[in-house]
Structure 1
Amino acid sequence: MTSPAVPGPRIPEAVHRRRWAILGVLMLSLLIVVLDNSILNVAIKTISTPAPTGLGATQGELEWAINAYTLVFAGLLFTAGLLGDRLGRKKVLLSGLAVFGIASALAAQSGSPGQLIAFRAVMGLGAAFVMPATLAVLMNVFERDEQPKAIGIWAGGVGLAIAIGPITGGVLLDHFWWGSVFLINVPIVILALGLMLWLVPDSRDPNPGRIDPVGVVLSVIGLVLLVYGIIKGGQLADFTDPAVLSTIAAGLAVLVAFVLFEKRSDHPSIDVTYFRNKVFSAAIAVIALVFFALMGVTFFSVFYTQSVRGYSPLQTGLLMLPLAAAQMIFAPRARLVVDRFGNKATTTGGMLVIAATLAAFATLEADTPIWILEVIFFLMGAGMAHIMTPTSVVIMQALPREKAGSASALSNTFRQVGGALGIAVLGSVLSTAYRNGIEDKLGLLPAAARHTAGESIEATLGVAAKLGPEGKALIAPANDAFLHAMHLTALCGAGVALIGAVVVGLFLPGRAPATQKEDEENELVAVEN
């Protein structure tokens, strides 16, 4: 059914009664999107192992296995949000889930890194239609006064997925082949599809206007070119490469053309005047910055725990439990902190906690007590909870309910582009620093082997294992070079988080006096002045 645009209660009574059950189904749909990436993080080392255990993927191929998903996901999120507003969010959700499930089954059967990368891209296509629709449906089944609570629980579900992913991945890798980390998505998809058909109402923008094909095409081409250039630069560890610079420049040029076209169009895909609202723009920017910082760090933390510390995939998953537990504990309660201290203080505090935890990674050594890493993960999860909940509420309430798909898509597009930037840029810092640190220790190897061994710590340890007893001399230098590279990368991430704290401190609203709070909130979230 469609939410009517009439005065008074906006939510039909039958939908209102089952709103919490609907939220549970939406969280299950979200679970598979987040679960997939968190499972893959634990499986990175296994997939890089030569066949038959893994696929023998190089570091570059591993980055593409992660980023092929991100590239398609980020490039199509905005378009998917628009289609959900126009065609109906339930239809888009069902279609996205089906594509994601089929692609997961195919990815599990990949016979080469190239096939895995291709099927991951198709998974990104399905996920792009799932993610914005979940928040858009949420905004259409909860009244405004309950939306912050619902969004907080939704954000806590992300923490649950972060917890389940690595542990599930570890258990699967201990007992089955690497493809099982993708096959596990299939039964979850089937369950989500059944519950969605039963419980979730359809909704759409009642006045979507004419289709804007030029705007849609420009947004997809611009985002894909930009993210592709960023990923390629990280893979080459050289952002001055002419092909990288030209691709990024082309992407930016197309996005500028998109903005100019939208400003002049009488039926734009997105009203760019939304970004005149400093609160809305700041919240979007902070999401991009925090995921820039965190995605790069998440990528190297798996190599720290498995390659340097020697933990198994399952143990690595268990080590990440504090990160997820903190999100599950604090995300649903973050709105209470916002009520007391305001968006500015809450989110600034969260950003400063993230910056401090990233900087703390620069103190970790090969023999650091593991409980220190656990404390870092817990504080990182607490910081994330106090960033994502208030910024998500600000973004989703800044636009009319009928535009919920577009608002969610904008938020997720900036998050994915920020995450792709983080993996590419911080991954480039990590690989360049590692190669510089290990190169002079590889002099005894043949030239071709030297280049391969310098790609990553896993590549160095792989070469060392083939050399037998003589290779043992490479293990300590590899650990030292990786730790130095990790410290440098973590400090870069902390610097980005501090920039985010400044943005929040300047532009997000503070705590309003109780007597003026409602009026001031309405003024702050107004986007059509």
Structure 2
Amino acid sequence: MSNTERDPRRWLILIVLCLSTLVLTIDSQVLTVAIPALIRDLGANAQDIQWITDAYILTLAGLLLTAGSLSDRYGRRRVMIIGLVLFGLASLGATYTTSPLQLIGCRALMGVGSALILPSTLSILITVFDDEERRKATSVWSSVVMVGLIGGPILGGTLVTSFGWGSVFLVNVPVAILAIITALALMPESKAPARKADPVGAVLSVIGLATLVWAIIELPVTGLSHPATLISFGAAVVTLVAFAVWETRTASPMVPLALYRNRDFSGGSFALVLTQIGLAGLVLVLTQYLQFVLGYSPTKAGTVLVPMAVATILTNLLGATLGQKIGNRTMTAVGLAVAAAGFGLLASLSPDSGFGIVVAALAVFGAGAGLAQPAAVAALMGAVPEEHAGVGSAANDTMQQAGSALGVAILGSLLAATYTSGMPATAPAQARASIGEALSLSDAGIAHAAREAFTAGMTVTCGTTAVLVLAAAVLARFVMRGRAPAAAPEPEKTATQA
């Protein structure tokens, strides 16, 4: 897109995209603060908590590719608004649930709504902003996401304390309404060349991911040698292999696999996936550590996350500027290495760690994320042709959401197994299964053992996450291309336009 073709409303359109993404960001953050309340009030166990998270992630990840194709065919604004309506209604239903199963169902519907929203945001950003402005727009979009990370935990903590856990879902409704009104008022409709839907690919991807995550969640309970676990893993492998084969042979694949031949797209995407696996597990662990182990209120637990978000916003803009000069590859690798150091600090926390060390560890992670994200997103989205904007955006979103599901499943299972093995064999079964149950027994000895066991589990989980993020840094360094992304082509582009 040349400068003369720039849409004069592009920055207003960016506001709509930011609002639409903001509602999803706020939802993910306020839910994490509400986890302990859900355990107490709904009687949710560890697996319930995982499925309250994974039901959303699985429907989102499974439907993103189809939603991206639908947005290209029928209009990105139209599909996004439908998603916002569905997300808002499902959030309203979640507010009044009375059992973990009902809440899991509402979360699954919220995932469907999110799947309709997400592909439109980055795909519209690609088509509206040219190469020169895209990095700046991406940085603004990422910073608004961080605003959700700042406001989400504080808002969630205040709502849980004052009005109960149901209010953390109710807050989505007015944000969704505002995003819908703004989209109708400011955003023009945007379509790309039509692509046929791939229902076979959609079904195979949903079944494969759901079966895989189900097997991983059940692994600590049943063991690897249990027939049900082996069957689940086998079915997941067969289904996902069938999905890959189908996508290479069908005339209209849901996933444009040719995108992964581009080193910037594949390197940036896989690096973000590894990071997302670690981040999803971290959020699950950290909120329980702050409230159950350190005894923080929901509000105080939310404020601990503020420095992380602030550090991310500040370094986000710095990362976008430096990325122009030293290239996406170096900036992504450096940022991920800093984030890995933050996870390493979190692995060193103890049951009596002070507020300062927790904040410092999260700030280091936030700084690393702020440096890496603009460069990684700019690299992979810059590699997507405009005609594949919706599906290309959805392909990246799908991998990251699948990473979130696997992160919750793998690291959540690792935490649960480590916690259970660290509890005394004489402790009641419910106390060995959940720290929330252990603390509810009002037994000082069991409570002390539970806090020690949970912290040991967090050490293992965060240490594993540090390795994953460091692997992502290495991947970015050796897979992504090293050229500076935008500075070099500008003189040639100007000459061509002239």
Following superposition of structure 1 onto structure 2, how do residues 230-241 of structure 1 map, counting pairs within 5 Å? 230-233=216-219, 236=221, 238-241=223-226
1:390-433 Cα offsets, whole Å, 9 max, x none, are 11111211111121111211111111111111111111111111
Matched, 1:422 2:422: no
Amino acid at match of 2:206: V
Matched, 1:21 2:21: no
Matched, 1:216 2:202: yes
The answer to whether the 8 A contact 1:79-1:220 is kept is no
> In structure 2, what is the equivalent of residue 392 of structure 1?
377
Structure 1 residues 114 and 494, CA gap change in structure 2 (3 angstroms): same
Structure 1 residues 313 and 139, CA gap change in structure 2 (3 angstroms): same
> In structure 2, what is the equivalent of residue 48 of structure 1?
39
> In structure 1, what is the equivalent of residue 46 of structure 2?
59
SS at match of 1:363: coil
Query: 2:233 and 2:489 mapped to 1: Cα distance?
Result: 43
1:457-486 Cα offsets, whole Å, 9 max, x none, are 112111x22xxxxx1221221111111111
Q: CA deviation at 1:240?
A: 4.8
Amino acid at match of 2:234: A
Structure 1 residues 118 and 213, CA gap change in structure 2 (3 angstroms): closer
Matched, 1:350 2:335: yes
Matched, 1:204 2:198: no
SS at match of 1:452: helix
The answer to whether the 8 A contact 1:136-1:405 is kept is yes
Query: 1:361 and 1:486 mapped to 2: Cα distance?
Result: 8
TM-score, normalising length from structure 2?
0.94
Query: 2:234 and 2:418 mapped to 1: Cα distance?
Result: 26
Q: CA deviation at 1:9?
A: 6.0
SS at match of 2:177: helix
The correspondence for 1:335, drawn from 303, 320, 335, is 320
Q: CA deviation at 1:316?
A: 0.5
Query: 2:492 and 2:407 mapped to 1: Cα distance?
Result: 35
Query: 2:218 and 2:191 mapped to 1: Cα distance?
Result: 37
Structure 1 residues 211 and 121, CA gap change in structure 2 (3 angstroms): closer
> In structure 1, what is the equivalent of residue 28 of structure 2?
37
Amino acid at match of 1:451: A
Structure 1 residues 239 and 72, CA gap change in structure 2 (3 angstroms): farther
> In structure 2, what is the equivalent of residue 81 of structure 1?
68
Structure 1 residues 269 and 477, CA gap change in structure 2 (3 angstroms): closer
Following superposition of structure 1 onto structure 2, how do residues 84-123 of structure 1 map, counting pairs within 5 Å? 84-123=71-110
Structure 1 residues 265 and 496, CA gap change in structure 2 (3 angstroms): same
> In structure 2, what is the equivalent of residue 445 of structure 1?
none
Query: 2:294 and 2:365 mapped to 1: Cα distance?
Result: 20
The answer to whether the 8 A contact 2:146-2:309 is kept is yes
Q: CA deviation at 1:114?
A: 1.1
SS at match of 2:425: helix
The answer to whether the 8 A contact 1:291-1:415 is kept is yes
> In structure 2, what is the equivalent of residue 289 of structure 1?
274
Structure 1 residues 345 and 175, CA gap change in structure 2 (3 angstroms): same
Amino acid at match of 1:297: L
Following superposition of structure 1 onto structure 2, how do residues 50-199 of structure 1 map, counting pairs within 5 Å? 54-199=41-186
Following superposition of structure 1 onto structure 2, how do residues 232-381 of structure 1 map, counting pairs within 5 Å? 232-233=218-219, 236=221, 238-381=223-366
Q: CA deviation at 1:8?
A: 5.6
Q: CA deviation at 1:283?
A: 1.2
Deviates more, 1:511-520 or 1:174-183: 511-520
Query: 1:240 and 1:78 mapped to 2: Cα distance?
Result: 34
Query: 1:210 and 1:423 mapped to 2: Cα distance?
Result: 33
Aligned-residue Cα RMSD (Å) equals 2.2
Q: CA deviation at 1:247?
A: 2.6
The answer to whether the 8 A contact 1:334-1:390 is kept is yes
SS at match of 1:454: helix
Report % sequence identity.
38
Query: 2:406 and 2:435 mapped to 1: Cα distance?
Result: 22
1:332-387 Cα offsets, whole Å, 9 max, x none, are 33221112222222111111112111111121112222111111111111111222
Instruction: Identify unmatched segments of 5+ residues in structure 2.
Output: 494-498
1:129-156 Cα offsets, whole Å, 9 max, x none, are 1112111111222122111111111111
1:258-292 Cα offsets, whole Å, 9 max, x none, are 22222223333333122122332111111110011
TM-score, normalising length from structure 1?
0.88
Query: 2:422 and 2:78 mapped to 1: Cα distance?
Result: 52
Query: 2:175 and 2:222 mapped to 1: Cα distance?
Result: 37
Q: CA deviation at 1:24?
A: 1.3
The answer to whether the 8 A contact 2:274-2:469 is kept is yes
The answer to whether the 8 A contact 1:74-1:224 is kept is no
Amino acid at match of 2:215: G
> In structure 2, what is the equivalent of residue 453 of structure 1?
431
Amino acid at match of 2:468: V
Amino acid at match of 2:361: I
Matched, 1:226 2:212: yes
Q: CA deviation at 1:25?
A: 1.6
